[in-house]
Amino acid sequence: MQLSSAGLDLIKRSEGFRGQTYLDVAGIPTIGYGHRILPGECFSNGIDEARGAQLLAQDVSGAERAVTRLVKVPLTQNQFDALVDFCYNLGAGQLGASTLLKNLNVSQYDAAADQLLRWDHAGGQEVAGLKVRRQAEFDLWHQQS
């Protein structure tokens, strides 16, 4: 399964584009559409949206692979998209260790969706942007194709 255009739009809308390096809400150096800058990467001159789209595609591919590897039950396209957005934002490790995934992999789809809404904190604080993002994932999860 691959991320749909609706899923990609959710990531782009949630992340926004920034052509210069910035610190995300968790204090991680980031650029473009939420690309976490890796050791050895340097963007001292910033990037344009085309380069941001390339980084986004690479990062989305990793999130898609993680969701495919971790989830053991069938998903709708919208559920897959919501999980890829979640994984893109928080990482495969967070998804892998989550109650969300435990619930999902025993076919408790509604309980898994409810867990999305619990991931709206960073640094011990509720973050309005994360609250909006988790609600968008929850809504997408329940949307009929």
Q: What is the pLDDT of residues 79-94, one digit of tens each?
A: 999 999 999 999 999 9
Place 73 in a pLDDT band, splitting at 50, 70 and 90: very high
Place 60 in a pLDDT band, splitting at 50, 70 and 90: very high
Place 124 in a pLDDT band, splitting at 50, 70 and 90: confident
Catalytic annotation, pick one of 15, 59, 64, 137: 15
Provide the pairing of β-strand 35-36 with 121-122: unpaired
What's the CA gap between 59 and 41, in Å, rounded? Answer: 14
Could you list the residue range(s) of the whole structural domain that residue 110 is in? 5-142
**Catalytic (active site) residue 49:** no
Which pTM value belongs to this model? 0.94
Catalytic annotation, pick one of 9, 24, 48, 137: 24
Indicate the number of domains in the chain.
1
Report pLDDT for 145.
Answer: 64
CATH code of residue 26 = 1.10.530.40
**Catalytic (active site) residue 24:** yes
Report pLDDT for 102.
Answer: 98
Residue with tokens 């991931």: 119
Average pLDDT in the chain = 96
∠ CA 15-30-96, nearest 5°, is 70
